[in-house]
Structure formats: structure tokens, C-alpha cells
Amino acid sequence: MMYVPSYFEFVNSAKLLSGDYALENIASEMNLLGSVRPIILSDATLEKIGSVKLLTDALAKGGMRPSSVYTDIPLDSSIEKVNEIAVIYRERNADGIIALGGGSVIDTAKGLRMLISQGGRDIMRYVGSEMLNKGQNVPFAAIPTTSGTGSEATGVAVIKDGERKVKLEFISSFLLPDIAVLDVRVLESMPPRITALTGLDALTHAIEAYSCLQKNPISQCYAISAIKLIMANLEQALRKPKDKKARISMAIASYIAGAAFSNSMVGIVHAIGHSVGGVCSVAHGEAMTILLPVCMRYNRDYAKEDYSELLLYLSSPDVYASTDAAARADKAIAVVEDFIAKIKESAPIATRLSERGVMKSDFEEIAIRAMNDGALIVNPRNADKDDILKILDEAF
Amino acid sequence: MKAFLKTTVCSVVLHVLYRALKVLVRKDSRIRHEFSSFKDGFTIRITLSTEGPSVVMRKEAGRLSWIKEAEGEDLELKFKSIDSAFLVFTGMMGISRAYAEHRITVKGDIADVMTLVRMIDIAEAYLFPRIMSKRVLRAVPSKERSSLSVYRMVLLGF
Ligand SMILES: [Fe+2]
């Protein structure tokens, strides 16, 4: 039965441009929003493989010339980087932002957007949740080049404070891009490992959004669509990287899973996963892949109904119908585990913490950090430090 | 209930909560441990609604103090409406749930919010009857001493 919370909020204000010639439509959409000379943010790899040129050519066709193209964004962007780009933005008199890249580039762009619209030189002042007003209008388009973080659909930016070496979270619906653009031409060069890990990250977003405390009829509906798309397309995207339909389907899945979790938030998989990443530099998607089944087992008795329902979308109507109602939640977890195992056959990904050099001596620090992660607040089952240590042990 | 009444109730409960935290920072090992992660001088503001009153607490020489007026707090939790604050301060909703439901805006680091929320959850286990905590919290923290002794220290100071 559909769960209706006593109160919830939902926002997904980005306009989505998805499919053939999506890049070519950006100029016109940005014009409508009042931008004629945006700054382009991307990274060195995307510049090297020609994705940035693809974008600037597409913009040129629409008569748009960017005020500058900035591609010096590292994988792990920082507050300092955002502040630095803001200087360039103002110097060049840019009037909008187009971000082309993975999570780090898009989060950097969100930080820049916030700093420009709020004014000032340092985004540190704006750390927090929902405390910003809209500020000055800064048209912002995001073009993801991986299919997993869903950052193009979320009102969250996670940016490192390089000095204190901690990740800071910015939450505001005004961080949402005005336009999200999904175009296979910038997605098909994704290597198998990234395709696999980002795809499984998106699956985690959908499963956590579906079962966490802030679930609601809209986010659950988004989560279901994302799960269906991922189960039907991730393997194909790995087998045939140039398969357009599989690629765009994964991009859509990532986008809607992002919209789902931006509203109902993610839970314990992310709380622990962020910390595993922070302490041991395990890639985000990999931490998700390793932790998802273990955490689902931890949550099972508290999310039983949700997991049972998800079995239908994770498998097939036949499997769902032939599984005893009481066994569906367990079956759903088993299906997720099998799916990850199958993905592992076509891409070099880890499924245990020990495979990625995490040591048992890291557990204490990981658990302490996970306890301070906001994602823990909406997990269906409460977790204290000992619970987290047990989960880490099981995932080792 | 009228808004000013809700505001009054919330202000009173918030004051009791502050007194309880002040006591428990010394008397409860877990709250002491959580509190130790705040640096000295760390200032917390809790604002009851957009236009509502706010209280400011600060860690001073390892203790929790009530501050009359302060600017530049390290952490501010602001309820979007007095009605949401009322749900929390009358024990009808856990503070973590209120945060999850977007009833609270935060200025500052979410990690600090998590610490404060855990402190408040434990404090509420002393202040509210167990049946209430059980309804609003996913797991009710245990108590290291009796609620009566905490209330005595909160109200009478010994
Ligand atoms: Fe994620």
C-alpha cells in the first residue's frame, strides 16, 4: 500500500532535456533564462577526449559563445576552487553557468552558482541546510557525463574544505540546476568501471529513497522507475558501451533516482559509504556496491514492506508472484546481491572492503564519521557506533 | 492553540532542555562525550520560528552556558514555524524527524547538528516519559541515572 507521510516536501524544479541533440538546445534554453555568455566548467579528461568541444560546437550552432571555459577541476573539488572560479566568473562578466562533467564538476558549479547569486568571496559562509534565499538569478545548466550521482537533479552539493580536510554539505533547493541535459554523446566514453559503479550508486539512491523515513508517493514513484531502468539497462550498457538506448536509459535512471533521493534523502549506505570514502579513499560507487546488500540486511526488519514491494521491480512479476510474501524482502536483497555479482563479471569492481585496501584498524574512524553523517537521520533503523562496526565487519 | 501560547510553551521547554543539557554534560557519560567534540567557545543558536525568539548556548571552559545576546554563532537551528517547534518541544516529534521533514533550517555543519541531535535525544529520554520517547524515537536511549535525579538537579540545582 502506498505510504503517505504526515508531512513531506518535494521539489524538482530543473527542466530536463533528454535525448537526441539535447546539447544543441542548451543555447536556446539558456537564452530564455537570460544568459548569453555563460562560463563553462568541465575537467581536463573531458577536454582531452573532445566532449568539451562537442559542447562548445553545439552552443556555437545556437549562436552562443561562452565567456570562458574552465577545465581545471579535480576529481575532488574544493571550497578554494569554487572561490577561485568565482573571481574568473566576475572578471569575464559571465552571466550563467554550464557544467559538463561528473559529480565533482557539477557540485563545483553548484557552489559557484551559490556564491554568485548570494554575493561575497567565500562560500564557507553558506554551509548549511535551507537557510539561503534565492538571491540573484544565475542561469545554470548541468550536463552529467556519468550516470550515477544524479547531482544534476539534487539540491545538495558536497564540497571539500581543503584546509580542514573535511567535506561540507550545502543543501538548498536553489542549488538545483535550471536545466539538466542528458545526451549520449558525452556519456558513451564512460569506461566500464565507471559505468558499473555509477549505475550501482544510482540503484542505491533509488533503494534508499524508496525505503527511508522521508519516502513519499512522489519519490517512491521516481525510485521505482529508476530501478526498472537500471535493472533493464546496466548490463547492456556494459556489454555494448555504444548502445544508445541503454546509455540514455541509465542517464534517465540516474536523474530520477537523484530527484528521488534529493527529496526523501539517503540512509545508512550513504552515511557509512561517505565515511569509507573519506577515511580510505574508496570510490563512492564502490563503497555503495560493497555496503548496499549488507545494509539492506541490517534494515530488513524495519523496511520489510518496502523491500518486499521492490522485489517486483528488481526482478519480474513472475518471481514476485512465486515468492512467498514473507520471503520477498529477503529475496529482494538476494536479487540485488546477484545483480552486483553479475555486474562484477563485466567490470573491475570490488564487493568487499578488504579488496580496496580498507583495514580493520580504519573501522573506528569510519564509524565515528558515519555517526556524524546527516544521512543516518532518515535511515529506517537507528544505528549506533557498534551497529556500524558490525556492518563494516560484515562487509570486510 | 494561539501562536503566542505555543511560543511560551516552547520557550519554557527549551529552557528546561538547556538546564538538563547543562546538568547532563557533567552527569551523563555519552552527553559528555558528544559535548567534548565541540570546541571551546562553540556557540549554538536555536530559533523557534522565522520571527520567533531564539536562545543561545555556548561552550565555555568545558561547560554549557546560557548567553543573553550573541552574534556569529557556529551553528543555528531555526524552525520554519512555531508549530513545528511545538511538535518537538512537547515530545510529539523527535528533533531528528523534524530535521528530516525539513521543518528545521540549519546554518553550519551538518556533523554538528548530528552531535546536538544525539545530545537532545538522550536528554529527552530523561525529561519525557518513556512511552513518549518510544513513540517518537527509532531507538530510546538508556538512562545512566534516574529521571527524578536529573529533574531535581535541573529544577533545584543539586
Ligand atoms: Fe550516492
Residue A363 CA from chain centroid, whole number: 25
- Residue among B78, B105, B110 minimizing CB distance to A169: B110
Quote the pLDDT of residue A77: 84
Q: How far is CA A288 from CA A219, A346, B136, in A?
A: 20, 18, 29
pLDDT at residue A6 tops 90:
no
Higher-pLDDT residue of A168, A269: A269
A364: which 3 cell numbers? Answer: 573506528
**Chain B nearest CA to A308, separation (Å):** 21
Give the chain B residue whose CA is nearest to the CA of A11. Answer: B102
The helix (run of H) or strand (run of E) holding residue B61 is none
pLDDT at residue A257 tops 90:
yes
Quote the pLDDT of residue A282: 93
Taking an 8 Å cut-off on Cβ atoms, the answer to whether B111 and A8 are in contact is no
Radius of gyration of chain B (CA): 15
Choice among A4-18, A114-128, A205-219 with the minimum mean pLDDT:
A114-128
Give the chain A residue whose CA is nearest to the CA of B84. Answer: A7
Mean pLDDT computed over every residue of chain A: 94
Domain ranges of chain B: 2-156
Q: Tell me the pLDDT band of A135, cut-offs 50, 70 and 90.
A: confident
Quote the pLDDT of residue B113: 92
Taking an 8 Å cut-off on Cβ atoms, the answer to whether A127 and B109 are in contact is yes
Taking an 8 Å cut-off on Cβ atoms, the answer to whether A371 and B106 are in contact is no
- Residue among A127, A168, A374 minimizing CB distance to B114: A374
Taking an 8 Å cut-off on Cβ atoms, the answer to whether A9 and B115 are in contact is no
Centre of ligand 1 from the C-alpha of residue A261, in Å: 9
Q: How far apart are CA B69 and CA A152, in angstroms?
A: 41
ipTM over 0.90: no
- Residues lining ion ligand 1 (Cβ < 5 A) are A 201
pLDDT at residue A97 tops 90:
yes
- Residue among B107, B108, B139 minimizing CB distance to A382: B139
Quote the pLDDT of residue A381: 93
Q: Is B101 on the interface with A (CB under 8 A)?
A: yes
- Residue among B97, B99, B114 minimizing CB distance to A372: B114
DSSP A334-395: HHHHHHHHHHHHHS---SSGGGGT--GGGHHHHHHHHHT-GGGGG-SS---HHHHHHHHHHH
Residue type, B126: Y
The answer to whether the beta carbons of residues B46 and B107 sit under 8 Å apart is no
**Beta-strand pair A97-101/A156-161:** unpaired
pLDDT at residue A162 tops 80:
no
Taking an 8 Å cut-off on Cβ atoms, the answer to whether B114 and A130 are in contact is no
- Residues from A in contact with B at Cβ < 8 Å: 5, 7-9, 127-131, 166, 168-169, 171, 213-214, 265, 371-374, 376-378, 380-382, 384
The answer to whether the beta carbons of residues B37 and A371 sit under 8 Å apart is no
pLDDT at residue A169 tops 80:
yes
3-class secondary structure for B110-133?
A: HHHHHHHHHHHHHHHHHHCCHHHH
Q: Tell me the pLDDT band of A232, cut-offs 50, 70 and 90.
A: very high
pLDDT in tens, B46-62: 999 888 888 899 999 88
Mean pLDDT of A82-89: 95
pLDDT in tens, B141-150: 888 888 888 8
Closest CA to A179 of A80, A72, A59: A59
**Chain A nearest CA to B142, separation (Å):** 13
Closest CA to A278 of A197, A350, A367, A208: A367
Taking an 8 Å cut-off on Cβ atoms, the answer to whether A130 and B102 are in contact is yes
Q: Which chain B positions have a beta carbon within 8 Å of A7's beta carbon? A: 101, 103
Centre of ligand 1 from the C-alpha of residue A86, in Å: 27
Percent of chain A whose pLDDT exceeds 70: 100
- E-strand ranges in chain A read 15-18, 39-41, 68-70, 97-101, 128-129, 140-144, 156-161, 166-171, 179-182
Q: How far is CA B107 from CA A110, A165, A177, A376, in A?
A: 18, 20, 22, 19
Quote the pLDDT of residue A131: 78
Q: How far apart are CA A336 and CA A293, in angstroms?
A: 7
pLDDT at residue A333 tops 90:
yes
pLDDT at residue B85 tops 80:
yes
3-state class of A15 per DSSP? strand
Q: Tell me the pLDDT band of B71, cut-offs 50, 70 and 90.
A: confident
Mean pLDDT of A216-227: 96
Closest CA to A362 of A339, A388, A337, A382: A388
Give the chain B residue whose CA is nearest to the CA of A383. Answer: B139
Closest CA to A338 of A355, A317, A314, A310: A314
pLDDT at residue B1 tops 80:
no
The three-point CA angle A375-A379-A384 to 5° equals 85
Choice among A195-199, A300-304, A376-380 with the minimum mean pLDDT:
A376-380
Q: How far apart are CA A372 and CA B117, in angstroms?
A: 10
Q: How far apart are CA B142 and CA B79, in angstroms?
A: 27
Mean pLDDT of A42-58: 96
**Chain B nearest CA to A377, separation (Å):** 6
Q: How far apart are CA B43 and CA B58, in angstroms?
A: 4
Q: Tell me the pLDDT band of A38, cut-offs 50, 70 and 90.
A: very high
Quote the pLDDT of residue B46: 92
Taking an 8 Å cut-off on Cβ atoms, the answer to whether B114 and A7 are in contact is no
Closest CA to A3 of A304, A332, A361: A304
CATH, domain range A192-395: 1.20.1090.10
Give the chain A residue whose CA is nearest to the CA of B112. Answer: A372
pLDDT at residue A1 tops 90:
no
Enter the pTM of the model: 0.93
Q: Mutating which of B107, B118, B133, B140 best tests the A interface, going by the most A Cβ atoms within 10 A?
A: B107
pLDDT at residue A241 tops 90:
yes
Q: Tell me the pLDDT band of A351, cut-offs 50, 70 and 90.
A: very high
Mean pLDDT computed over every residue of chain B: 88
Highest mean pLDDT out of A47-61, A113-127, B77-91: A47-61
Centre of ligand 1 from the C-alpha of residue A271, in Å: 10
**Chain B nearest CA to A133, separation (Å):** 12
Higher-pLDDT residue of B128, B46: B46
Taking an 8 Å cut-off on Cβ atoms, the answer to whether B106 and A131 are in contact is yes
**Burial profile A163-175: b = 16 or more Cβ within 10 angstroms, e = fewer:** eeeebbbbbbbbb
| A15-186 placed in CATH 3.40.50.1970 | yes
pLDDT at residue B158 tops 80:
no
Quote the pLDDT of residue B143: 85
Quote the pLDDT of residue A297: 97
Domain A15-186 and domain A192-395 have a common topology: no
- Residue among B100, B114, B117 minimizing CB distance to A214: B100
Q: Which chain A positions have a beta carbon within 8 Å of B101's beta carbon? A: 5, 7-9, 214
Q: How far apart are CA B148 and CA A392, in angstroms?
A: 39
Q: Is B148 on the interface with A (CB under 8 A)?
A: no
Taking an 8 Å cut-off on Cβ atoms, the answer to whether B115 and A372 are in contact is yes
Closest CA to A39 of A89, A90, A101, A108: A89
Mean pLDDT of A194-204: 97
The answer to whether the beta carbons of residues A73 and A41 sit under 8 Å apart is yes
Give the chain B residue whose CA is nearest to the CA of A266. Answer: B100
Mean pLDDT of A57-64: 96
pLDDT at residue B157 tops 80:
no
**Chain A nearest CA to B149, separation (Å):** 26
Count Cβ atoms within 10 A of the Cβ of residue A63 and give its class: 0-12 exposed, 13-18 middle, 19 or more buried.
exposed
CATH, domain range B2-156: 3.30.1050.10
Residue A105 CA from chain centroid, whole number: 12
Taking an 8 Å cut-off on Cβ atoms, the answer to whether A168 and B109 are in contact is yes
Helix, strand, coil percent content, chain A, rounded in steps of 5: 60, 10, 30
Give the chain B residue whose CA is nearest to the CA of A374. Answer: B110
Centre of ligand 1 from the C-alpha of residue A235, in Å: 19
Domain ranges of chain A: 15-186, 192-395
Q: How far apart are CA A316 and CA B16, in angstroms?
A: 55
Mean pLDDT of B73-97: 91
